[in-house]
Structure 1
Amino acid sequence: MATPDFILSLREKIGHEQLWLPGVTAIIIQDVPAGAPITEVPKVLLVRRADNGEWTPVTGIVDPGEEAHVAAVREAKEETGLDVQVEALLGVGQVGPVTYPNGDVSSYMDTAIRCSVVGNATPGAGDGENTEARWFSVMQMPPMKPRFRLLVGDAVAQLRRPEGFCPRMGYQKRDRRR
């Protein structure tokens, strides 16, 4: 789906000025099957964006009145054609500002969620936002923004040791002196 109608309506009023929006990142993980060799690692579903060619997890804007976990499921279906279920909260953090090719500026309060596929796991590029959707070993992902690599790592850590996982508060580098 392209830019949501509510944003187009806001843009008519404010032009290219910065918008503060709720966003969601769905980290869709395919775990290692039971009985697989110890050397096998989980896979992550990534999409190649049509606008800039970058590989990313499924991302999107949360619609007015929509919960972030519902938006994650909706965005996964729109962008990959897959049905997913929410497994865990990975964290919440600020992203941006992002300046788009048309001059629009937005910042996001992003909620990252680990999801798993329900049923058929063969993805496709569901909407015009992406040109490809493909599974990658978490050890052999294509180049992508550090924030996405961090969230994929968090998703695997949460999957492996949920009892010790603490959701991330913020995506910026942490000051190690504290």
Structure 2
Amino acid sequence: MPTPDFVLDLRRKVGTAPLPLVGVTAVVLRDGKVLLGRRSDNGHLTPVTGIVDPGEQPADAAVRETLEEAGVACRVERLAWVHQLPRVVYPHGDQVDYLDLVFRCTWLSGEPRPVDGEMTEVGWYDLDALPELELPDMYRRIALARTEGPAHFEGGR
């Protein structure tokens, strides 16, 4: 997956030190199904995820990433979950602390297909018979996006 230019610029200054970044997860729903794609970097089946660009609204990032990665136009309905992911250390040594914002989104148009190379396959999966997801917290992201009510916030004790 291509690393955003702003992250490359930061890496030139901080090396592999931990970077705090805001990420989004777009849980796109349509007629009892959820949009999932197989990531090209690690082969995991997940909803659409991505990094918020500087100055970009997080909900806009979720919509942008869904269109860029899966060719699907969607509308954000609500924020479902705010949580800090455990530190990620990439094979080349870069460290990232992602604050992930999970959004429930509704399909507007487009049939899923890999668009920008970040996913190798994309499709609709039945919410009541989800396939095995390699990252266990993806089940929670999907479950919280399906619920009604206010967003869930981790911590705050």
> Normalized per residue, which structure has more strand?
2
Is residue 61 of structure 2 the alignment partner of residue 98 of structure 1? no
Q: 2: distance between equivalents of 1:58 and 1:66?
A: 17
Report the secondary structure of 1:118's partner residue: strand
Query: Which 4+ runs in 1 deviate beyond 6 A?
Result: none
Q: 1:80 is matched with which residue: 70, 78, 91?
A: 70
Q: Which residue of 2 aligns with 1:10?
A: 10
Q: 1: distance between equivalents of 2:90 and 2:131?
A: 23
Report the secondary structure of 1:153's partner residue: helix
Is residue 41 of structure 2 the alignment partner of residue 54 of structure 1? no
TM-score relative to the length of structure 2? 0.93
Q: Which residue of 2 aligns with 1:127?
A: 116
Q: 2: distance between equivalents of 1:143 and 1:119?
A: 26
Report the secondary structure of 1:154's partner residue: helix
Instruction: Name which one, 1 or 2, has greater alpha-carbon Rg.
Output: 1
Residue by residue over 1:22-42, the C-alpha shift from the partner in whole angstroms, topping out at 9 and shown as x without a partner, is 1111000113xxxxxxxxxx1
Residue by residue over 1:73-123, the C-alpha shift from the partner in whole angstroms, topping out at 9 and shown as x without a partner, is 000011101111111110211012011122211011111101111123x10
Asked if the contact 1:29/1:155 (under 8 Å) is kept, the reply is no
TM-score relative to the length of structure 1? 0.82
**Once the 2 structures are TM-superposed, how far is the Cα of residue 11 of structure 1 from its aligned partner?**
0.8
Report the secondary structure of 1:96's partner residue: coil
Q: In percent, how many aligned pairs have the same letter?
A: 45
Q: Which residue of 1 aligns with 2:102?
A: 112
Residue by residue over 1:38-74, the C-alpha shift from the partner in whole angstroms, topping out at 9 and shown as x without a partner, is xxxx111011011110001100000000010000000
Q: 1: distance between equivalents of 2:74 and 2:35?
A: 11
CA RMSD of aligned residues (A): 1.5
Q: How many residues align?
A: 155
Report the secondary structure of 1:52's partner residue: coil
Q: Which residue of 2 aligns with 1:66?
A: 56
